[in-house]
Amino acid sequence: MPATDRAIELCRRAALAASQRKAEEIIAIDVSDRLALTDVFLIASGANDRQVRAIVDVVDEAMLKAGAKRRMREGLTEARWVLLDYGDVVVHIQRSEDRDFYALERLWKDCPAIEIPGLDDMTALDVPDSVEGA
């Protein structure tokens, strides 16, 4: 069963928010046929711990605004690989070198990618005011 429309929309919002903090290599993978725990993995990279934290903050704000409740957040202390679990969507934000090392995309290569409309058009997302200047 493919990812739900709600999961895809939440993923899009998270991806667009991450992009506003200059996240790199943003991809979405439909893991719904392989995992019962979630529908979508969103994977993005940051160059350093400061950028990873900024991406985490803006994604959290965007998801909260969309009505998604975060179930879990792990890895923020070191900010090398932060996992944000919103139920239908799990967001992985990794430092670039960790992303290269762990290569999550290779682990899930048999799962379909999800196109993220509007990723290049940053006007498609209304970012919360509280993170606009972060």
Please check whether residue 5 is in contact with residue 11, taking contact to mean a CB–CB distance below 8 angstroms: no
pTM for this structure?
Answer: 0.85
Beta strand 89-95 pairing with 81-85: antiparallel
Beta strand 72-74 pairing with 81-85: antiparallel
Domain segments of the chain as ranges: 5-114
Residue 114 phi/psi, 5-degree rounding, is -110, 125
- What's the pLDDT at 121? 56
Per the CATH hierarchy, to which homologous superfamily does domain 5-114 belong?
Beta Polymerase, domain 2 (3.30.460.10)
pLDDT in tens, 41-94: 999 999 999 999 999 999 999 999 999 999 999 999 999 999 999 999 999 999
- In the block, tokens 């890895």 appear at 75
- What's the pLDDT at 36? 86
Positive or negative, the CA dihedral 117, 111, 105, 32 is positive
